[in-house]
Chains A and B, each alone.
Chain A
Amino acid sequence: MVVTAKTADGKEIGKEERHYHPQATNCRDKKEKYGAQWKVANIRDTSIQPFQAKKETIEFHLPEGVRSAEITVDLFYEDVNPDNKYPIHTIKKTVSLDM
């Protein structure tokens, strides 16, 4: 999931990522392995599990003089490598600090 904040003219002012997936090593060193032939067991699992909502709170401090931002939240699935993406949801919101 990638959350970006941009000014009205498109300048990026903040970006945060969250990665949800099981992470395994070969249990002989501390390097995460990709590929069944190298992995032996998970050492961490941030994947999205049934009945367990993933909640995040992400904060962006706006630069001086900026009073609003366009927030985009992209949820996508990566398979094999980060270039192979399957979009899932994209939600955009404009947030203003002025009434």
Chain B
Amino acid sequence: MKFFKVVLVVLFLAVPLLASAEKAKTIDELAKMYDSSSCKACHAEIYAQWEQSHHARPLMGVKGGLMLTPLALKKGEPGSTAFSEDSPEKMKISNFPCFKCHLPQAIISAEDSVAVELAKALQAKDSAKVAKLQITCIVCHNTKAIIHKRELGEPEKGVLYSTKEVKEHGDSTFKTVKKSAIMNNSVYCGQCHGLGPNLEFDQAFQCANLYGSYLHNYVSGGGTQSCQDCHMKKGDHLIPPNFNDDKQTSELLASALSLDVETLGYDWLRKAATYTPKIVVMTKITSKAGHRIPDG
């Protein structure tokens, strides 16, 4: 009986420790936990595309920005937000609601100490440290791969999910690839490229509306293409646009939007013998995109 009690006490103490041990305490630990660099050996082209993508720099904003900085500012300081605290030491994962999409692995795999370290890095403008936090292959091909969890369960450890099943996947950690139910469906992208206000948080906020626009303006108008059809042609993991590439972004926008201009010049007669020279410019912009522009 005494032995049984000891076992129970040990289990009682050990279980939370084990659970805690599974979570990253530092940015480096979190980055390592979701490190996908081993994918590069066999998927070099896809990996190179991803490296140029916004998914590879989800906390960096456009052209070297650090988009989460306002959250890390001291509460009350100009530019700070409702999520800011008096000190970076007080920051928790919940102070970064943007993690919902910009770093989903932090919600399930990071201790609050990661939020503290990130807040300090943002205040110090330590881009190199912030850049370690990425939406890696594992995030999309495991963490975010299942939305029917009541039916299909949580994403399994050691399993990747993709558009095709691969029974023997040559990786020491991820030995199999299961077919995802949603990875070629727009709803997969819609998990993050959102519907509108995020009302599930204690302080509502709004980021992307893109999927809402897709559903309510494109699908409702008869559109049948998926996000992947247009933004992942031939499996392109750059998933354009890449706003750090001006030329490519301009070309993509030009392919989606057309502009027609007609003009008319004449002498306008408002009252007898009083002419006003007038030019009328008529513009028409039409879109081939499956969502509003701009959005994200």
Interface residues of chain A, those whose CB is within 8 Å of chain B, are 1, 3, 5, 20-22, 24, 27, 35-42, 45, 47-62, 66-69, 71, 73, 75, 77, 79-80, 84, 86-89, 91, 93, 95-97
Contacts and interface: CB of A to CB of B under 8 A. Distances in A.
Contact of B289 (A36, A50, A68): A50
Contact of A73 (B82, B250, B281, B289): B281
A37 B285 contact: no
A49 B217 contact: yes
Contact of B62 (A36, A49, A79): A79
B128 interface: no
Contacts of B294: 20-22, 47, 77, 79
B273 to A, nearest CB: 15
Interface string B257-292: 111010111111000000011111111111101111
Contact of A36 (B98, B243, B258, B287): B98
Given A37-B81, A49-B213, A84-B62, A95 B284 contact: no
B214 to A, nearest CB: 8
Contacts of A39: 205-207
Contacts of A55: 282-284
Contacts of B279: 5, 59-60, 62, 69, 71, 95, 97
The 5 A-B pairs with the shortest beta carbon distances in the complex, nearest first, are A36-B207, A51-B221, A62-B277, A47-B292, A50-B218
B259 A93 contact: no
B63 interface: yes
B293 interface: yes
B259 A73 contact: yes
A6 B61 CA distance: 37
Contacts of B213: 47, 49-50
Given A58-B283, A97-B267, A41 B206 contact: yes
A58 B279 CA distance: 8
Interface in B60-106: 61-63, 65, 70-71, 81-83, 98
Given A37-B81, A47-B293, A60-B278, A89 B254 contact: yes
Nearest to B281: A58
B20 interface: no
B180 interface: no
Contacts of A20: 285, 293-294
Contacts of A27: 204
A95 B263 contact: yes
Interface in B204-225: 204-207, 209, 213, 217-218, 221-223
A35 B70 contact: yes
A91 B266 contact: no
B254 A88 contact: yes
B62 A80 contact: yes
Contacts of B283: 1, 3, 54-56, 58, 73
Nearest to B194: A36
Contacts of A60: 278-279, 281
Contacts of B286: 53-54
B196 interface: yes
B284 A54 contact: yes
B8 interface: no
B287 A49 contact: yes
Nearest to B259: A89
12 contacts: A20-B285, A20-B294, A42-B206, A48-B287, A48-B293, A50-B287, A51-B218, A51-B222, A71-B261, A89-B258, A93-B263, A97-B279
B83 A37 contact: yes
B279 to A, nearest CB: 5
